[in-house]
Structure 1
Amino acid sequence: MNVVGNAVLIVVDIQGGDVPLPEARTEIPHMDGRAERAPRVRELIARTRERGVPVVWIQEVHKPDLIDIGRELDGAEGPHCVEGWPETELSKGLEPRPDEFLIRKRRYSAFFGTELEIVLKAYRAETVILIGGLTDVCVHYTAVDAHQHDYRVRVVSDCVGGSSREAHDAALRAIHYLQRDALVEQREVLEWLETATPNPEVARAARTPLAGRTA
């Protein structure tokens, strides 16, 4: 996998808490294969952390009265990611560490109206690696905005899932159209991580006088 400069792994909207998908109130269609993707996702996050590459978490959240949901109900999706619903929490077993950023968003793109750009600049990132869902919605729109912010985009095709297989495949084709090297597989990322250099900004932050202090 070709990575330019510092990389950041962005985990996009892997939510559901410990609520089984068939029982979730979130009215969003999902393609199959989530159970098969989950071990690959966990392994990738673990190896990324071990190598000192930053992990940034994204979570879509809306108020119960849906005042902040905008036009998201004009399409195929019903109410989703409602604050206070157990299924709005990150999926069971996926927990940000205290030193990792958890960014909550009100729109599909993780860049829109959030602090993601500030966080990426803090890490001096040039490449963003995307996993999560939905491939054709939040992953796609985040990839497009990353492209328009001049980041190199790498979407891990076997660690993302769409609203349907057809929509998933179409979104991957659209992302590849923007950046020819954008589509990678988990094994390629793991191979790159074997020799990846820890992010120097993370190491520098760990040496600051405030690091490790408690209140």
Structure 2
Amino acid sequence: MKDAIYLVLDMENDLVHADGPNGRAAYGEQVRSRGILENTRRAVDKARAAGLHIGFVRVGFSPDYRECPPNSPIFSGARKNGIFKLGEWGTEVHPDLGRQPGDFDIVKHRVSPFYSTSLEAILRANGIKRIYCSGISTNAVVQATVRDGHDRDYEMVVLEDACCGLTAEEHDNAIKSLQRFCRITNSQDVVFE
């Protein structure tokens, strides 16, 4: 395996599946109009063919939401709406993305996949130096991953066409702000090395 990983961020049913609560709302509209599932699957297949590690990052909480921060504007709706429950369909990776048993599964309880997860141990144990990433949303998990990874001295690469926000404007603004911290490419042009 190479010293790089492709992290697929929060591409779980509650957020991106057409039958999920967010898939029927604004996120779903962006996922469909931007071809996020197809672009992500293309990138996953290319990364596999290049011998990269693949990691699927999922946000999720115990059924009683014991890890869910009660005062978080971004997570306060999870408990109220009964979403992001670990062990249920909603926190599974979207089936079209081709998850395999050997892929890393990183479960997080906050926006950043680095905070209180197994991610850093996985990266160190596998000698990872470069992190490719994409997911939903650009202005939350993607931005947090890039900034936290950058500050931990990883080379960061974002696949722009496999990311989206609630709106095109949110996505565009997030990508503009990330350009200082990473390289931006897309699922068509990326060369996993």
User: Do these two structures clear the TM 0.5 threshold for a shared fold by scoring above it?
Assistant: yes
1:60 aligns with 2:63: no
Find the counterpart in structure 2 of residue 15 from structure 1.
12
- Aligned-pair identity in percent equals 23
- Output the CA distance in 1 between the equivalents of 2:20 and 2:101: 30
Given that residues 41 and 98 in structure 2 are in contact (C-alpha distance below 8 angstroms), is that contact kept between their aligned partners in structure 1?
no
The structure with more radius of gyration: 1
- Output the CA distance in 1 between the equivalents of 2:106 and 2:126: 15
* C-alpha distance after superposition, 1:81-104 (max 9, x if no partner): 122442221112234322221111
Given that residues 17 and 94 in structure 2 are in contact (C-alpha distance below 8 angstroms), is that contact kept between their aligned partners in structure 1?
no
Higher helix share: 2
Given that residues 13 and 59 in structure 1 are in contact (C-alpha distance below 8 angstroms), is that contact kept between their aligned partners in structure 2?
yes
How many residue pairs get aligned? The number is: 186
Partner of 2:84, secondary structure, is coil
- Are the structure 2 counterparts of residues 19 and 76 from structure 1 closer, same or farther at C-alpha, using a change threshold of 3 Å? closer
Partner of 2:12, secondary structure, is coil
Given that residues 157 and 184 in structure 1 are in contact (C-alpha distance below 8 angstroms), is that contact kept between their aligned partners in structure 2?
yes
Partner of 2:27, secondary structure, is coil
- Are the structure 2 counterparts of residues 37 and 10 from structure 1 closer, same or farther at C-alpha, using a change threshold of 3 Å? same
Deviation at 1:45, TM superposition (A): 0.6
* C-alpha distance after superposition, 1:127-178 (max 9, x if no partner): 1100111111111111111011011111100011112222211111121133
- Output the CA distance in 2 between the equivalents of 1:135 and 1:15: 15
Find the counterpart in structure 2 of residue 69 from structure 1.
68
Unaligned runs of 5+ in 1: 197-215
Given that residues 161 and 168 in structure 1 are in contact (C-alpha distance below 8 angstroms), is that contact kept between their aligned partners in structure 2?
yes
- Output the CA distance in 1 between the equivalents of 2:137 and 2:55: 17
Spell out structure 1 runs of 4+ moving beyond 6 A.
Answer: 25-28
Unaligned runs of 5+ in 2: none
